[in-house]
A and B are shown apart, each in its own frame.
Chain A
């Protein structure tokens, strides 16, 4: 049982390049989330999904797209990377909705992205 895994662990991009971050979970969780973590700003939700084939915007969705074609995978895409997207990205999953429930979110190890 690997939990939540993220690929890649590190990446350096040049401004304007594109990339996709992959998140996979093997816990059969319905809900999945993408966060970014920046110094002094805590965790900010980018996008989330409430089930296979669904996506929704979080607090800071601009510049990112997501897809949930399979229940176990949640992809985060950057179409044209900008230096402001330099951050650590975390994926998380939960069995049910985190809002209004006591469900725990399980986090991946993170992807450290630098955009030059």
Chain B
């Protein structure tokens, strides 16, 4: 069964430093992939998604993610962290293959940005 793993439940960076949040999927058939962000006391919103059109995907607020089939990864990056980036980030997978009507969610990574 398809699964998604987010390495590191908590990541802490300094303001201005590189942000790297890791996501790996398990399927042998590359799925569709999503990153969602949840700001404190809010619902989730889409940050970006991989739809097979391009391996480097740009999202909102300066985030981007690169799909690497050989590594079964879809890591999220931002060159320079801002205090407002502090949030929970979720990676999710949509399996192309079957009748599954649902997204498969990672457990989330909490990003803290230190001044």
User: Which A residues are within 8 Å of any B CB, using their own CB?
Assistant: 4, 31, 33, 40-43, 45, 48, 50, 56, 58, 90, 92, 97-102, 104-105, 107-110
Contacts and interface: CB of A to CB of B under 8 A. Distances in A.
Given A90-B44, A102-B32, A40 B102 contact: no
A65 to B, nearest CB: 19
A14 B87 CA distance: 31
Nearest to A101: B94
B43 interface: yes
Interface string B25-44: 00000001010100001111
Interface of B: 9, 32, 34, 36, 41-46, 49, 51, 90, 94-103, 105-108
B43 A4 contact: yes
Label chain B's interface by main secondary structure. loop
Nearest to A91: B43
B100 A107 contact: no
12 contacts: A33-B102, A40-B9, A50-B101, A56-B101, A98-B94, A98-B101, A99-B98, A99-B100, A100-B95, A100-B98, A102-B51, A105-B103
A50 to B, nearest CB: 6
A83 B108 CA distance: 24
Contacts of A45: 102
A42 B43 CA distance: 13
Nearest to B50: A102
A42 B98 CA distance: 23
B111 to A, nearest CB: 15
Contacts of B107: 40-42
Contacts of A31: 101
Contacts of A92: 43-44
B15 to A, nearest CB: 26
Contacts of A4: 43
Contact of A108 (B43, B103, B108): B43
A90 B43 contact: yes
Given A42-B106, A98-B102, 15 more contacts: A4-B43, A33-B102, A40-B9, A40-B107, A42-B105, A42-B107, A50-B101, A99-B95, A100-B95, A100-B99, A104-B34, A105-B44, A105-B103, A107-B44, A107-B45
